[in-house]
Structure 1
């Protein structure tokens, strides 16, 4: 079974306004509401690709209830912990001449709530996949990802971590199956600017030296790189298409990689599936569907370069 953890889920309220102007009443031309959060995005894309999974995390209040309902409508199994104080956040994205985001804070997660999460994680079995994705709310320990991996280190799990800075670096000692920084995040860790795929490969290998097994690095319009634990390296240019919505593209890449790996047991196929799934989400108003991913896979075979 695949499990995802989202500590601070949201209702993403995306509004379009022609020529937004501060200080006056603006009328929307379009409105969309999605369940949001990096782990939740991974769960929804995995479901779209035909992989059952369970979304874990924390929900609160009427917004939490709506997130749960939306996930169930999309066929995602949601097993969240209900938090008593506060409400799950609403994130507002304003699309106009410029894009603007306002992100909410989220509920007050207590020690008792964290204990309940550990109880759920204790039920995971050898062979399961666990995805830890996104930021940690201020009300929780900043070491949360590391604490979870230490807690689970005696289980034979494949743990995927999509996080930044210390959240990511601190888990490397527990040998995550996959990490997925982008090139800017990778550079930030080492205090350098990374622009070329050659630089990505160099610093991805340094992440392996610190403990990561597989390092998947997204580079937006410049493609992606995978440095795998078996020594193979795969590169790709970005598939061609019109970017409609970049939110969730990185999470979709993670979901696609997992799906490709489970289908084929091949890092090469997992990489190709990840790249095309991330792009399919970027080219769509909503998250990637299986049909969209297959279409990109079929039309972009020449983009992928690999070396063993």
Structure 2
């Protein structure tokens, strides 16, 4: 297998942005969704991508050529149901959502075709990235379990950044090389009682026990935590002023996948992912960033062991801060 990644992006969206960086109003049309943003960053890191996706309806007619223009090797199912999209206005420096159409769920025939396509492409790739479907569950969660099990069980490294029933499904596969999740998602899913280091460590160990070999939990403005080879580490990276905080987690996952696709070790992969996530927030485009800037950030990312004593002290400090 050559060095490339398969990104499973079952329901990409058409994104329309109204912006005004100077005197004139601008309108931007792009393909969007977690898998598209991840694929974009993986390619920025020098790794070719096969993007397995679907498109249908009027939106799909616009979306498909935009996906092809991203430079990916596009593996497309032309679905019977309609793709989704959204429009947002960014003229005042904030993101105002004008319209959001999630699209229709995929039918049985489309699901079968998409599964076979992703399996065929993933078995030829050293790394497969399983991305989510957005706000609406347009694909059954069990499809993710089956895909992770079939790919991981046949030698592909499986990377996932999921939550809710999709997170539970891929954990049930027992075949995850790398899992990234945010502490907000863990709280929303009822998997942690609070966001203390102690609770997050417990949750990471539970997810590792279900088959995730490496787990990273992002913590908004706080350093992410990583469980690597049974060691809990704090991922310390330089502070950068954010132009748009969205997409940092997707870029982190993409950075990890890119390094693994090149045969790199998991610690370098996590550091690269952290650098990619930090770089992404300095830009308005999701899944973007200059590689020379990323290389400069990579040297400043540290993986620092979080001892049991550190965990206990941090937990006490966090609880005290909440009650002030």
TM-score normalised per structure 1: 0.85
Structure 1: distance between partners of 2:215 and 2:8: 20
**CA contact under 8 A between 1:223 and 1:237: conserved in structure 2?**
yes
**CA contact under 8 A between 2:5 and 2:128: conserved in structure 1?**
yes
Taking the TM superposition and a 5 Å limit, the aligned residue runs for 1:93-242 are 93-95=88-90, 96=92, 98-101=94-97, 102-123=99-120, 124-125=122-123, 128-135=126-133, 137-152=136-151, 154-175=153-174, 176-228=176-228, 230-242=229-241
Structure 2: distance between partners of 1:28 and 1:223: 39
2:304 corresponding residue in structure 1: 305
**CA contact under 8 A between 1:130 and 1:158: conserved in structure 2?**
yes
Structure 1: distance between partners of 2:124 and 2:19: 46
Equivalent residues, number: 296
1:3 corresponding residue in structure 2: 6
Taking the TM superposition and a 5 Å limit, the aligned residue runs for 1:15-30 are 15-16=18-19, 29-30=25-26
Structure 1: distance between partners of 2:48 and 2:125: 15
Q: Report the CA distance between 1:46 and its aligned residue.
A: 0.7
Bigger mean CA deviation after superposition, 216-225 or 273-282? 216-225
- Give CA-to-partner distance per residue, 1:133-159, whole Å, 9 cap, x none: 113754533432123234546422211
Taking the TM superposition and a 5 Å limit, the aligned residue runs for 1:36-75 are 36-75=32-71
- Bigger relative contact order, structure 1 or 2 (CA pairs below 8 A, ≥6 apart): 2
1:14 corresponding residue in structure 2: 17
CA distance 1:51–1:104, shift in 2 (3 Å): same
CA distance 1:282–1:149, shift in 2 (3 Å): same
SS in 2 for 1:240: coil
2:248 corresponding residue in structure 1: 249
Structure 2: distance between partners of 1:128 and 1:160: 11
- Give CA-to-partner distance per residue, 1:180-230, whole Å, 9 cap, x none: 1101112333453443444322221111122221111111221212112x2
Bigger mean CA deviation after superposition, 254-263 or 111-120? 254-263
Structure 2: distance between partners of 1:69 and 1:246: 28
**CA contact under 8 A between 1:13 and 1:93: conserved in structure 2?**
yes
Bigger mean CA deviation after superposition, 289-298 or 257-266? 257-266
Q: Report the CA distance between 1:70 and its aligned residue.
A: 2.7
CA distance 1:108–1:134, shift in 2 (3 Å): closer
- Give CA-to-partner distance per residue, 1:103-129, whole Å, 9 cap, x none: 212245221111111221342436632
Structure 1: distance between partners of 2:140 and 2:32: 22
Runs of 5+ unmatched residues, structure 2: 308-324
TM-score normalised per structure 2: 0.81
Structure 1: distance between partners of 2:182 and 2:282: 19
Runs of 5+ unmatched residues, structure 1: 19-26
**CA contact under 8 A between 2:127 and 2:260: conserved in structure 1?**
no
**CA contact under 8 A between 2:51 and 2:73: conserved in structure 1?**
yes
Structure 1: distance between partners of 2:271 and 2:156: 23
RMSD of aligned alpha carbons: 2.7
2:315 corresponding residue in structure 1: none
**CA contact under 8 A between 1:130 and 1:160: conserved in structure 2?**
yes
**CA contact under 8 A between 1:162 and 1:180: conserved in structure 2?**
yes
